[in-house]
């Protein structure tokens, strides 16, 4: 799907990129072979697909799950469709078709589709946008349909989604009902739908929803004023009446406060990133997509400002965002607690979505860099090595009581993770016909065959990333094509060396891209190497919880220490400034990991007798060997405590 006319670059289509990579192969295979099947079983067991069946059978009542459970089926369909972009799998194809047929059969004649309302409150559609997620589910249906259409060419689900989008278009907008979704998602989906159908009204509607948010009075405020009387009020969500859930999120001192859903002021006036993190990142994904279609400096400045605020003051070192549990969201600058971190897997995914759109819009490597950080850390930790266990919440420190689960009542994260993994190929490369440039944004082994400004190019990327700082790109197309090869150089990389066909070349990389303009043809080889240092990171002094503490990062990977590797509690481990940190690849550990080791120190509680406090000079410390593994790999062995941030010594 092309980016819009105002984008600097467009990500390569999924079908043009076949991943073949030491690090990712096993993970993608597990996603295909285990995760997708496991999730389908969950959807069968937890009532999600049964809800659709009941609608098809004309039943009433009996809805199961959270009000947005339809979206899990749609996300699963999207993930499964991406799998088909690169792999033939007749069984999966058949299963997908069955689910599509079920969904199509459940759709009302006028295009409406939402199993909660169809089963429980058929006369009360659109009454409660703040909490009942109708537009959110519609958005996920549209995303699934676009993915299906892009990867298989089938229009079955696209017809369903367009029918529903048309109904929504008749229902909302400047000449119809004013309304904004309580959870963003429809906006970014409508832009995708516009791009496959060329129907301008979908783009107009997306723009309407983007700008309708944050107005005074907010349509959501009206709903909150009557929240006990409107649709969904009595629906019990997670043991709470939905009306009370809505109150908790949208009222402060009994007054409407839309910040939870970024509805506190128009985006153009928003200075800081606020509220629920998935809502925020999906919203700004839509905004960045919209800007690819329609120029709007004020909107661009706003979305850039919010990105700056997030990345410089409200983001974990893992790229995770949303530090607070109650509202699953952002709080204040530098408020980044470790144990109580929320950092929902979906929010990391939302940030990756947003950054891909921002990259396409600007061509700025900073966005590709943040995708890398989030992908390898805050996101990847969300999926267990086995592929059938998931984190919803991603703390940076635990006492040993936080473990992946096979499913959740609110199961937004697992299928979200599956769809991101299955579409990883979309995040690696981009092209700009206008600048005749190919961007290599991520170091992931892959075979690529694509078009650039009307010419066919193909190449293979080979790399041992993230373990080593090197990559080779070898072109395979027979007819020479002249273009600008732009390869990202990570911000932390040093000693950067580049060769073309074995000859060193001087290449400028001020803007974090090596740029080589020449004619490329079969056998031409570009090689990039850079140092892959272990960095001992520390945080801004205003991050109170980790003031003075240190974390290990090697290349793009943030490391952590786990109880299973230590004889003393991990929270006691201290890394002296003088400690040398060694990196060693261990092929047997969790399918192969580079482990970091260092001589550390730990104070010994046995030597404190009955004392609670004592002079610092009297404290005795023991030598202790520190073993750190990548954060993404934690909680895959014996359960126990974990921390990213170590004590200084």
237 forms beta bridges with: 240
> Helix (H, G, I), strand (E, B), or coil: what is residue 268?
helix
Which is nearer to Zn ion, 404 or 601 (by Cβ)?
A: 404
Dihedral angle of Cα 322, 327, 333, 339, to the nearest 10 degrees = -60
For residue 411, the minimal CB distance to Zn ion (Å) is: 8
The single residue among 120, 257, 344, 571 that binds ligand FUB, judged by CB under 6 A, is 344
The minimum distance between CB 59 and ligand FUB, in angstroms, equals 25
Report residue 166 as tokens: 């048309």
Q: Which stretch binds Zn ion (CB under 5 A): 8-16, 111-119, 226-234, 341-349?
A: 341-349
d(CA 513, CA 529): 13
**DSSP secondary structure, 353-415, as one string:** HHHHHHHHHH--HHHHHHHHHIIIIIIGGGB-TTSS-B-SS--SEESS----BS--SS--HHH
**Residue 317 · residue 342 · CB < 8 Å:** no
Closest approach, Cβ 14 to Zn ion, in A, equals 23
Q: Which is nearer to ligand FUB, 344 or 388 (CB)?
A: 344
583 binds, among Zn ion, ligand FUB, none (CB under 5 to 8 A by kind): none
Q: Residue 405 CB, nearest distance to Zn ion (Å)?
A: 12
Residue 183 sits in the site that holds ligand FUB (CB under 6 A): yes
- Closest CB to Zn ion among residues 303, 412: 412
Q: Which does 183 bind (CB under 5 to 8 A by kind): ligand FUB, Zn ion, none?
A: ligand FUB
State the nearest-atom distance from the C-beta of 63 to ligand FUB, in Å. 16
Q: Which is nearer to ligand FUB, 183 or 367 (CB)?
A: 183
Q: Which of 145, 193, 210, 412 binds Zn ion (CB under 5 A)?
A: 412
- Return d(Cα 446, Cα 369) in angstroms, integer: 19
Q: Does the footprint of Zn ion cover residue 411 (CB under 5 A)?
A: no
Angle between helix 413-422 and helix 345-362 axes, rounded to 10 deg = 40
> 468: helix, coil or strand?
coil
| Binding-site partner at residue 410 among ligand FUB, Zn ion, none, CB < 5 to 8 Å by type | ligand FUB
CB of 198 to Zn ion, least distance (A): 32
User: What is the sign, positive or negative, of the torsion defined by CA atoms of 123, 126, 131, 137?
Assistant: positive
Give me 5's structure tokens.
Answer: 């006319």
Q: Is 635 helix (H, G, I), strand (E, B) or coil?
A: coil
Window 540-579: residues binding Zn ion (CB under 5 A) = none
Least distance to ligand FUB, CB of residue 372, Å:
23
**CB contact set of 112 (below 8 Å; sequence gap of 6+):** 118, 125, 164, 167
Collapsing DSSP to helix, strand or coil, 613 comes out as coil
Select 342 or 632, whichever has its Cβ closest to ligand FUB. Answer: 342
Query: Of ligand FUB, Zn ion, none, which one does residue 644 interact with (CB within 5 to 8 Å by kind)?
Result: none
**Total number of residues binding Zn ion (CB under 5 A)?**
4
- Main-chain dihedrals φ then ψ at residue 41, nearest 5 degrees: -60, -40
Q: Is 328 a catalytic residue?
A: yes
Q: What's the min distance (Å) between Cβ of 346 and ligand FUB?
A: 5
For Zn ion, give the closer residue by CB, 346 or 602. 346
Binding map of Zn ion across residues 343-372, x = CB under 5 A, - = no contact: -x-x--------------------------
Judged by CB under 5 A, which of 9, 413, 444, 473 binds Zn ion? Answer: 413
262 CB burial (10 A radius; 0-12, 13-18, 19+): buried
Assigned token pair, 14: 């999924």
Among 144, 189, 321, 346, binds ligand FUB (CB under 6 A): 346
The contact pattern for ligand FUB, residues 271-300, with x = CB under 6 A and - = no contact, is -------x----------------------
Of 51-70, which residues contact ligand FUB (CB under 6 A)?
A: 68
CA distance 76 to 614: 57
Q: Is 374 exposed, middle or buried (0-12, 13-18, 19+ CB in 10 A)?
A: buried
At 195, list the tokens: 């791009």
Q: 3-class SS at 103?
A: helix
Residues between 608 and 647 with contacts to Zn ion, criterion CB under 5 A? none
220 binds ligand FUB (CB under 6 A): no
| Catalytic annotation, pick one of 86, 137, 346, 412 | 412
412 near ligand FUB (CB under 6 A): yes
- Give 3-state DSSP helix, strand, coil % of the chain, rounded to 5: 40, 20, 40
Q: How many residues does the chain have?
A: 649
| Shortest spacing between CB 346 and Zn ion, in angstroms | 3
Q: What is the largest CA-CA distance in the chain?
A: 79
In the complex with Zn ion, the residue whose CB is nearer, 38 or 431, is: 38
Which listed residue (134, 207, 274, 328) is catalytic? 328
Examine residue 410 and tell whether it contacts ligand FUB (CB under 6 A).
yes
C-alpha separations of 458 from 82, 436, 447, 520 in Å? 21, 15, 8, 10
Please give the angle made by the CA atoms of 563, 566 and 569, to the nearest 5 degrees: 60
- Report the nearest approach of Zn ion to the CB of residue 345 (Å): 6
Residue 104 near which of Zn ion, ligand FUB, none (CB within 5-8 Å, type-dependent)? none
Residue 75 within binding range of ligand FUB, rule CB under 6 A: no
Instruction: Give the HSE-up count for residue 415: Cα atoms under 13 Å, Cβ half-sphere.
Output: 28
332 counts as catalytic? no
Cα–Cα dist 146/75, whole Å: 12
- Name the closest residue to ligand FUB (Cβ): 278
Q: Which of residues 364-393 bind ligand FUB (CB under 6 A)?
A: none
Residue nearest to Zn ion (CB): 346
Q: How many residues bind ligand FUB (CB under 6 A)?
A: 8
Active site residues per annotation: 328, 412
Which residues of this protein are in contact with ligand FUB, per CB under 6 A? 68, 183, 278, 328, 344, 346, 410, 412
Which residues of this protein are in contact with Zn ion, per CB under 5 A? 344, 346, 412-413
């Amino acid at each position: 799907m092309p980016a819009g006319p105002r984008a600097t670059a467009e990500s390569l289509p999924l079908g043009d990129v076949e991943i073949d990579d030491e690090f990712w192969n096993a993970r993608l295979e597990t996603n295909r072979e285990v995760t997708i099947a496991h999730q389908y079983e969950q959807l069968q067991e937890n009532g999600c697909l049964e809800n659709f069946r009941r609608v098809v059978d004309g039943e009433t009542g009996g809805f199961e799950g959270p009000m947005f459970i339809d979206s899990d089926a749609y996300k699963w369909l999207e993930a499964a469709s991406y799998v088909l972009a690169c792999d033939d799998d007749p069984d999966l194809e058949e299963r997908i078709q069955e689910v599509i047929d079920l969904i199509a059969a459940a759709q009302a004649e006028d295009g409406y589709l939402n199993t909660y309302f169809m089963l429980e409150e058929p006369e009360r559609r659109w009454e409660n946008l703040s909490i009942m997620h109708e537009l959110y589910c519609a958005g996920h249906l549209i995303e699934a349909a676009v993915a299906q259409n892009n990867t298989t060419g089938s229009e079955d689900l696209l017809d369903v989604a367009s029918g529903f989008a048309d109904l929504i278009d008749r229902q909302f907008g400047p000449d119809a009902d004013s309304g904004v979704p309580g959870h963003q998602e429809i906006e970014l989906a409508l832009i995708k739908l516009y791009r496959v159908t060329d129907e301008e009204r979908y783009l107009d509607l997306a723009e309407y929803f983007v700008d309708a948010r944050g107005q005074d009075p907010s349509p959501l405020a009206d709903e909150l004023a009557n929240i006990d009387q409107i649709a969904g009020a009595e629906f019990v969500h997670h043991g709470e009446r939905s009306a009370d859930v809505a109150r908790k999120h949208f009222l402060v001192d009994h007054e409407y406060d839309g910040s939870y859903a970024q509805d506190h002021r128009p985006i153009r006036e928003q200075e800081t990133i606020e509220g629920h993190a998935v809502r925020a990142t999906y919203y700004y994904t839509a905004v960045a997509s919209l800007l690819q279609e329609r120029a709007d400096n004020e909107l661009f400045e706003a979305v850039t400002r919010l990105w700056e605020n997030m990345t410089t003051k409200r983001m974990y070192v893992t790229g995770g965002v949303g530090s607070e549990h109650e509202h699953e969201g952002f709080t204040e600058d530098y408020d980044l607690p470790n144990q109580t971190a929320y950092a929902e897997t979906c929010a990391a995914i939302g940030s990756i979505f947003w950054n891909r759109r921002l990259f396409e819009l600007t061509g700025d490597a900073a966005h590709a860099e943040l995708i890398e950080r989030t992908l390898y850390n805050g996101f990847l930790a969300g999926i267990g090595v086995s592929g059938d266990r998931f984190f919803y919440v991603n703390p940076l420190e635990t006492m040993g009581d936080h473990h992946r689960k096979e499913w959740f009542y609110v199961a937004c994260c697992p299928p979200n993770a599956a769809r991101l993994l299955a579409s990883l190929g979309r995040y690696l490369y981009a092209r700009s016909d206008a600048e005749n440039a190919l961007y290599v944004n991520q170091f992931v082994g892959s075979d690529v065959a694509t078009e650039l400004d009307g010419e066919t190019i193909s190449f293979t990327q080979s790399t041992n990333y993230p373990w080593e700082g090197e990559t080779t790109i070898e072109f395979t197309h027979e007819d020479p094509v002249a273009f600008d090869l732009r390869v990202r150089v990570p911000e932390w990389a040093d000693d950067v060396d580049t060769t073309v066909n074995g000859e060193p070349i001087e290449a400028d990389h001020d803007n974090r891209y090596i740029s080589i303009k020449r004619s490329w043809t079969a056998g031409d080889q570009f090689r990039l190497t850079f140092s892959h240092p272990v960095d001992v990171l520390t945080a801004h002094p205003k991050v109170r919880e980790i003031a003075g503490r240190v974390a290990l990062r090697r290349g793009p990977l943030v490391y952590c220490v786990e109880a299973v590797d230590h004889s003393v509690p991990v929270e006691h481990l201290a890394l002296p400034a003088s400690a040398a940190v060694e990196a060693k690849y261990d092929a047997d550990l969790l399918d192969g990991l580079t482990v970091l080791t260092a001589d550390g120190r730990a104070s010994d509680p046995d030597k404190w007798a009955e004392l609670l406090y004592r002079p610092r000079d009297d404290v005795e410390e023991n030598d202790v060997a520190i073993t750190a593994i990548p954060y993404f790999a934690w909680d895959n062995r014996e359960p126990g405590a974990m921390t990213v941030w170590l004590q200084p010594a």
